[in-house]
């Protein structure tokens, strides 16, 4: 039976540590870290994420402002709001909740956020910094995965790490962070041939493909560490990950559950990025 990597408990412990750091920062500088979150439209999942971010900010002492914009908001109206927030000295981090309505270019919006306030680390400048290992911010979900591995004493160096998925938000940056920690990394995707043969070689397997229970037990090596980044809603309304948790936990050394694994860590790393942005703003 695998060790269950508890993201909920880990995130709570990290937020408690962060609250102390924020209290000390405010005491030393008189500056309260500020985060602006913009949500466009009525996507129910996005609304839940935004509420979670608001609650998390309040818990650690970050000033947060949420801008809820109508579905019909134009691209120029959204870009104008981002420019206004870029110039607001009380706001250190700006997050535009994705996905956006189809008439708005996500690429343009991400590019419009000041790299110094890009706490999602999606801006091309920050992506470039991650590529060369010289960064202030890391994308929140991959950073959360790395924090879980570290907190559970799971060594990456020398391990074969297989990432399923090549998105700009998770797959690609996850591969870079594992590589930075001296893992040997293979990235698999929809065009990969003999996928199961590759995943069975993984010492650390990260599933970020967005397909419910895609990773079966026969795709996993005995004793592997399995990190499930996926979150999928089934027909009965329950949530599950990209990994067949019940079957795979019998083979794995350690595994993250869904919910309660990587998910809570994503918001926690956003809070850490916001404090980093506030510190950098004073330099």
List the catalytic residues: 53, 97, 120
Strands 239-240 and 232-233: antiparallel
Contact, 140 vs 120, CB < 8 A? yes
Distance, in Å, from the CA atom of 226 to the CA atom of 202, rounded to the nearest integer, reads: 9
- Cα–Cα distances in angstroms (integers) from residue 11 to residues 27, 123, 148, in the given order: 24, 25, 9
CA atoms within 13 A of residue 120's CA, in its CB half-sphere: 20
Phi–psi pair at 147, nearest 5 degrees? -65, -40
Number of helices followed by number of strands (H, E) in the chain:
10, 11
Distance, in Å, from the CA atom of 37 to the CA atom of 44, rounded to the nearest integer, reads: 16
CA atoms within 13 A of residue 229's CA, in its CB half-sphere: 24
CA atoms within 13 A of residue 201's CA, in its CB half-sphere: 14
Q: Cis ω on the peptide bond leading into residue 259 (within 30° of 0)? A: yes
- Cα–Cα distances in angstroms (integers) from residue 85 to residues 44, 88, 106, 111, 166, in the given order: 25, 5, 17, 14, 31
């Amino acid at each position: 039976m695998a060790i269950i990597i508890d993201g909920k408990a880990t995130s709570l412990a990290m937020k408690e540590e962060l609250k102390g750091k924020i209290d000390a920062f405010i005491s030393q500088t008189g500056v309260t870290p500020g985060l602006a979150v913009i949500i466009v439209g009525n996507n129910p999942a996005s609304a839940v994420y935004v509420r979670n971010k608001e609650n998390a900010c309040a818990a650690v002492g970050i000033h947060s402002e949420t801008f809820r914009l109508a579905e019909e908001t134009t691209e120029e109206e959204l870009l104008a709001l981002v420019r206004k927030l870029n110039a607001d000295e009380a706001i250190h981090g700006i997050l535009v909740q994705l996905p956006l309505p189809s008439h708005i270019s996500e690429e343009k919006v991400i590019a419009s956020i000041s790299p110094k306030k890009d706490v999602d680390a999606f801006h091309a400048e920050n992506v470039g910094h991650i590529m060369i290992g010289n960064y202030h911010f890391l994308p929140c979900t991959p950073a959360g995965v790395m924090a879980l591995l570290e907190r559970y004493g799971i060594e990456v160096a020398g391990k074969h790490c297989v990432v399923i998925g090549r998105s700009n938000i998770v797959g690609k940056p996850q591969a870079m962070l594992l590589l930075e920690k001296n893992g040997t990394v293979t990235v698999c995707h929809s065009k990969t041939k003999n996928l199961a043969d590759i995943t069975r070689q993984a010492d650390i397997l990260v599933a970020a493909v967005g397909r419910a229970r895609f990773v079966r037990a026969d795709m996993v090596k005995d004793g592997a560490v399995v990190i499930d980044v996926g979150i999928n809603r089934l027909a009965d309304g329950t949530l599950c990950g990209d990994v067949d948790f019940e079957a795979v936990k019998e083979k794995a050394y350690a595994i993250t559950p869904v919910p309660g694994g990587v998910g809570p860590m994503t918001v926690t790393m956003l809070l850490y990025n916001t404090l980093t942005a506030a510190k950098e703003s004073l330099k």
